[in-house]
Amino acid sequence: MEVSVSDAKAQLTELVRRAEAGDEVILTRRGAPKVRLVPIVSGDLRERRKRALDAFTGCLKDKAGLQDATADTIADFLYDERGLPA
């Protein structure tokens, strides 16, 4: 959902609730997207990413032909469809 910054002022609480629920909320200025509201991921993000990368690396060692994985393949493993850490 896209909302102008001026309209968002009046409905900020509802927009935050929607973002927390997983809806994509984009704030626009003069029709151009400027900001995306996303929930904060709990826990130590750096440690979670390291564990995910270690798990992915372990998967590569176990599967023939995957040792030459691309950055896109790794990004797909580490991030969800909204671009947030998995």
Residues 19-71: pLDDT tens digits? 888 888 999 999 999 999 988 766 677 777 788 888 877 766 666 555 666 77
Site of tokens 């564990």: 51
- Look at the chain and report how many structural domains it folds into: 2
Using the predicted structure, report yes or no on whether residue 15 has a pLDDT greater than 90. Answer: yes
Residue 24: which CATH number? 3.40.1620.10
Residue 73 inside a domain? The answer is yes
Does residue 30 belong to any structural domain of this protein? yes
Does residue 33 share a domain with residue 53?
A: no
Domain span holding position 58 = 45-78
Which residues make Cβ contacts (< 8 Å) with residue 85, sequence separation at least 6? 41, 45, 48, 49, 52, 78, 79
Q: Which residue has the higher pLDDT, 25 or 78?
A: 25
57 and 74 assigned to the same domain: yes
Single pTM value for the model = 0.48
